[in-house]
Chain A
Amino acid sequence: MSTPMPSPPITSVTRQLSRRSVFEALLHRSPISRADLAKVTSLSKQTMSEVIDAFEQQGLVRPVGRTSGNVGRTAVLYELSPEGGHVLGIDLGARRLTVALADIAGRVLAEADEPTDSRGGAWTLDQIARLSDRLARDNHTHPSRIRSIVMATPGVVNPKSGAIEMAPNITGLDHLNVVGLLGEKLGSPVVLENDINLALLGEIWHGCAQNVDNVAFLALGSGVGLGLYVNGRLVRGENGAAGEIGYLPIGGDPLQAESRLQGCLEYQIGANGVVRRYREAGGSDVDSERQVFERAQAGDPIAAYVVEETARLTALAAAAVIATVDPQLLVLGGSVGARPDFADKVARVLLQLSARPVEIRTSTLGRRAGVVGALSVALRRLHDEFFGVAELAMALPLPPPAHRNARQ
C-alpha cells in the first residue's frame, strides 16, 4: 500500500484565492453547507474546513440551521454573519442628505434622511456625522464595525485639497478638506465620488439597469449631468469631467456669459433655469421647479409650455449622447428626470429626432439611487480589503437585490 501523497504546500496566493472563492460562494448562495461550498468552489473538504473555521473565528460566518435531508445525516448551513463588517453610504444632495447602512453581505439594514443644512460648510459636515452616528446607534452598530464609507457628492473632488469644487448648489465646501474632516468625524476614511456616477451604479446594482453592459444615466434636477457605464466601468474622462453635459451647447446662445459660466444647457433646464423661464414667459412667482411641474399638471398653459420646452431640450441632449456613445439603455433620473410624465415627453421628442431609437427607462430608485450606489462601492471596497488578491484585479460581483428581503 502506497503512502498518501503529501498535499502541496498552500502558498499565500492559493490561500487568498481559496478564501476569496469561499466568500464569493457565501455571498451568492447562502445559506449553504460545507459540502456544497466544496462542490461550488472545487476546493478539498480539508481546505474548506480550514477556511470556514477561520471565517467563524473572525465572525464572518455563522451557522443558521441544518439541511433537512431525509436520508443520512443533516449538515450545518452557513451564511455570512451581519457582524462581519458594515458599510456606510452617504448621499450629500443640495436639498437632502441621505445615509444608509448595510452589512458585508449587501443587506441594507437601515436608511435615514433629512433636509441638507443650508448653512453649508462645517455645518453640513457636522450634520453628516450626526445623522450617520444616529443611524449606527439606532441599529446597534458600534462605529468601529463600519469598515468602509463612500459619499456621493455633486461637483468634482479636488484630489489634492480634498475640497468639493464645481458644486454651486452647496456652499462652503470648496475651501474645506472635506475628505479629511469627514474621515476624522466618522472615525474611518471616507471615499468621495460624483453623485451621478453613484446613482448610475445604484441603478445597476438594485435598480432599472441590472445586467446591462452599456448604460447612460441622464440626471435632471437642480442641475443636469450624465453618467456613462461601459463594459463594467465608469467613463471618467481625462480629468474626471466626463458627463458634464450642463455645458452642452444646446438650448441657448453658447456665447452668452451665463452659458460659459454655468453651462449653456444647465442655464436653461437646471432647476433655476426652469423657474426663470417660467417667470420670463409670464408665469407668476414660484419657489421651485417642482411647482412649475405641478402647475403644468393642473392646467397652467405657461407652465405646460415650459415643461414641454424642458423635455425638448432634454431630448436634444439625449440625442447628442446617443449619437456619440451609442448606449444600450438610457436611464432618466434626478428629481425632474425620473418623473414618469416628463420621461414620456422626452421619449416622444427623441423618437422624432433619432434614427437609432434606444430603450429609455426611468430610475426606479428615485432619490435613493445615489445612496444605494454609494453602498455598492463601499461594499466592493470592503470585499476588496478582505479578499482582494493582487494577482486578480477584478472586484467580486455583488449579490443581487434579492438580499434586501433580509432587511430589518
Chain B
Amino acid sequence: MTRETAYCFAADLGGTKLAAAIADARGGIVAELTEPTDRRGAAYVAEQIAACADKLAQTVGIEVTRARHVMVGIPGAIDPRTGRVSLTPNIAGLEDFDVLGFLRDRFGPDVAIENDVNLAMLGEHALGCASHCRNAAFLALGTGAGLGLLIDDKLFRGARGSAGEIADLPIGRDPTSQIPSASGTFELEVGSLAIVDRYRRQGGTAAATVRDIFRLLEQGDEVAASVLDTTARWVALAVVTLQSLLDLELIVFGGSIGVRPELYERVRRTLPALFSRPITIAPSRLGDRAGLIGAAWAAGQALRQNPEPA
C-alpha cells in the first residue's frame, strides 16, 4: 500500500481580504488565491475559507481531504486555554462564532488557529528577514496596529493570547484625560482612518485613503509630508516602548502602511534622538504574504511533528 503525499491548507483572514494556500509537507506553498472577505459576517467567512480549500485542491488536482493539517490566521486575540476569539472588530460576529469547531468539522482534528500577526512573525522568522533572530517583533500597521512577538525563539502569546494587542498602547494624546473609548489610543494616532483624518485636519483636500496620501507625497504635497512625519513620530514612540520592554534584536515593519519606505525611513531617522542605544528596524521581506507564508510554514511544522493521521 502506498502512502499518499500529505498536504497542508493555510489561510490568512483579514478584514478586507482572505488569502489561502495549499502547501506541501514542508510548508512550501503549492497554490494560492486571494479574494475579498465575505462582508456578511463570521458564518459566511468560515464557509468561504472552506470553499477556498476546495478550489485550491481542485487547482492542485488532489482530494481536499489530503490537506490534513490546517492553520488559519485570525485578526484577533485567541485565548490559548479556550480557543475563544476576541478583539476582532473587522469581522462581524467572529467573537461569538466557534471558528475552531467549524474548521474541525470540515477538516478533521489537525486544525489550529493563530493570531494573524503572530503568523506573519513566524513567516519572517522561517523564511524572511528575521531568520537569524531569537528576539524580534513584527509590527503590522494598516487599518489598525498589531504586533507579533518572538521571545527566546518562540512565539509569545501572553496569558490570555492578547500579547501584542497594541492598539491601546498609551501612546498618542493623553488617554487619561479623555473619556475612555472602545478603540485604543495608539491606533487612534496611526490607524489608516487617523492618518486620513489628520491629513484633512491639516487642510489637505484631495485624499480619501492613505494610498492617496502616499501618492500626493510623491507629487510634493507638503501636508502629506507633514502628516507622515507626525505619524512616524507616534510609531517611533511605540518602537521605543517595545525596545524598552523587551530588548529586541529586530522589529519588522509590515502591513499596508508599515511596509512603505516613506513611513519606516521616517521612523528610522527619528529613533536615535529618542533612544540612546541602537534599534534595528527593517521592512517585511514577505510583504502582504507574510501571514499566509507563516500559516503554511506552521501547518507544515505541525505535519512534520505528527505525520500520521490522527
Contacts and interface: CB of A to CB of B under 8 A. Distances in A.
A53 interface: no
A352 B168 contact: no
A378 B5 CA distance: 52
B277 interface: yes
B135 interface: yes
B159 A319 contact: no
Nearest to B245: A324
B247 A319 contact: no
Contacts of A328: 159-160
Contacts of B175: 316, 319, 353
B164 interface: yes
Contact of B275 (A233, A247, A327): A247
Interface stretch (B26-34, B44-52, B105-113, B234-242): B234-242
Interface in A277-325: 312, 315-316, 319-321, 323-325
A326 B176 contact: no
B139 to A, nearest CB: 11
A245 interface: yes
A193 to B, nearest CB: 16
B97 interface: no
A213 B80 CA distance: 13
Interface in B138-180: 147, 149, 151-152, 156-171, 175-176, 180
A324 B145 CA distance: 12
A244 B135 contact: no
B180 A247 contact: no
Chain A's interface size range is 35 or more
A316 B241 CA distance: 12
A39 B116 CA distance: 49
A325 B159 CA distance: 8
A239 interface: yes
A325 B156 CA distance: 8
A214 interface: yes
B248 interface: yes
Contacts of A356: 160, 162, 165
A320 B245 contact: yes
Interface in A226-261: 226, 228, 230, 233, 235-250, 254-255, 260-261
Contacts of A321: 245
Interface string B228-258: 0000000001001111111111000000000
A214 B158 contact: yes
Interface string A370-390: 000000000000000000000
Contacts of A352: 176, 180
Nearest to A240: B247
A213 B162 CA distance: 15
Interface of B is mostly: loop
A260 B276 contact: yes
A240 B115 CA distance: 28
Given A248-B244, A260-B273, A323 B168 contact: yes
B163 A244 contact: no
B247 A260 contact: no
B20 to A, nearest CB: 29
A162 B168 CA distance: 40
Nearest to A351: B180
B289 interface: no
Contacts of A239: 247
B170 A324 contact: no
Interface in B195-235: none
B247 A324 contact: no
A312 B174 CA distance: 11
Contacts of A255: 273-274
Interface of B: 134-135, 147, 149, 151-152, 156-171, 175-176, 180, 182, 184, 237, 240-249, 273-277
27 contacts: A213-B159, A230-B156, A233-B152, A237-B135, A240-B247, A241-B247, A241-B277, A244-B247, A245-B244, A245-B245, A248-B245, A249-B171, A255-B273, A316-B175, A319-B168, A319-B170, A320-B241, A324-B149, A324-B166, A324-B241, A325-B163, A326-B158, A326-B164, A349-B176, A352-B176, A353-B175, A353-B180
